[in-house]
Amino acid sequence: MPARKFLDWLDAPKNLKWIDIGCGNGAFTEVLIARCAPAAVTGVDPSEGQLAYARARPGAKRAEFRVADAQALPFPDNSFDAATMALVIVFIPDPRMATRELVRVVRPGGVVATYVWEFPRRFSASALGGGDEGFGSWHRRSGRMYRLRRAVPCKRSGKKPGSPRSKPR
């Protein structure tokens, strides 16, 4: 399952406070809980129907689920240690705003990551922005948007992030 590989690739420490943006029916949330041994998980999605299904998943009982918009998260700055957005970024009307929100709610030095199967033709990685979010420049430098890359932690100083490096296989 790609979710397992993605989380293994992230290699985040245990006992982090996670937010799962666009958690939908909770499938990724279940894998996150099983793989990462989090201290806490909050799943957010704009659909109450999806969240109702997520709450019923046996492997997601430890998570808290809330209706929320990825472009305007209802959490204070630095509320989480890690944020993920699995298979969602291309469906958000303003991916740059969602990226900023991910960075905003995660503490400095925390994990902010997203993945998709592939980017649709209509989607440009530049829509993710650059600068303090890091995603846009990361994709432009890597040359191939779909390759797994590990970016160095980005600072909120406005400086460009360092060069990405591939994780050894």
pLDDT exceeds cutoff 50 at 147 = no
pLDDT at 116: 79
Across all residues in the chain, what is the average pLDDT? 77
Cβ within 8 Å of residue 122, ≥6 positions away: none
Report domain 2-142's class. alpha beta
pLDDT exceeds cutoff 80 at 72 = yes
Tell me which H or E stretch contains 10: helix 2-10
Q: pTM, whole model, 2 decimals?
A: 0.73
Interatomic CA distance for residues 140 and 114, integer angstroms: 16
DSSP secondary structure of 35-79: HH--SEEEEEES-HHHHHHHHH-GGGTT-EEEE-BTTB-SS-TT-
Per-domain residue ranges of the chain: 2-142
Residue 164's pLDDT band (boundaries 50, 70, 90)? very low
Read off the pLDDT of residues 7-33 as tens digits, 9 standing for 90 and up. 998 899 999 999 999 999 999 999 999
